[in-house]
C-alpha cells in the first residue's frame, strides 16, 4: 500500500479568489468564472510542497490535502 495524497475543495466555501491557482499552477487552473479546476489525481512527492502551500494559503480554508491509501 502506498500513501496517496490528493487535493479536495470544499466547493460550498470556495468563492473563487484564485490564490491556489497562483501558488500551484502545476495542478490548479481557473474556470471562466474564476473557480479552481482540479483533478482527484494523486500529487507526486515532488509537488507536495507546492500543494501544501496552496492549501495552507487559502483565505477561506476551502482547500484540503487528504491522505488515503491505495
Footprint of other proteins (CB under 8 A): 8-16, 31-35, 37, 64, 66
- How many angstroms separate the CA atoms of 44 and 9, rounded? 18
Report in angstroms how near the CB of residue 30 gets to other proteins at its nearest.
10
Report in angstroms how near the CB of residue 63 gets to other proteins at its nearest.
11
For residue 37, list its beta bridge partners.
29
**Contacts of 23 by beta carbon, 8 Å cutoff, 6+ apart:** 50, 53, 54, 57
Report in angstroms how near the CB of residue 12 gets to other proteins at its nearest.
4
User: Closer to other proteins at the Cβ: 46 or 70?
Assistant: 70
Amino acid at each position: 500500500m502506498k500513501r496517496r495524497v490528493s487535493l479536495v475543495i470544499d466547493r460550498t466555501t470556495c468563492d473563487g479568489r484564485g490564490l491556489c491557482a497562483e501558488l500551484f499552477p502545476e495542478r490548479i487552473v481557473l474556470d471562466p468564472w474564476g473557480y479552481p479546476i482540479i483533478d482527484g489525481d494523486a500529487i507526486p512527492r515532488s509537488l507536495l510542497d507546492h500543494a501544501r502551500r496552496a492549501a495552507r494559503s487559502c483565505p477561506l480554508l476551502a482547500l484540503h490535502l487528504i491522505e488515503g491509501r491505495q
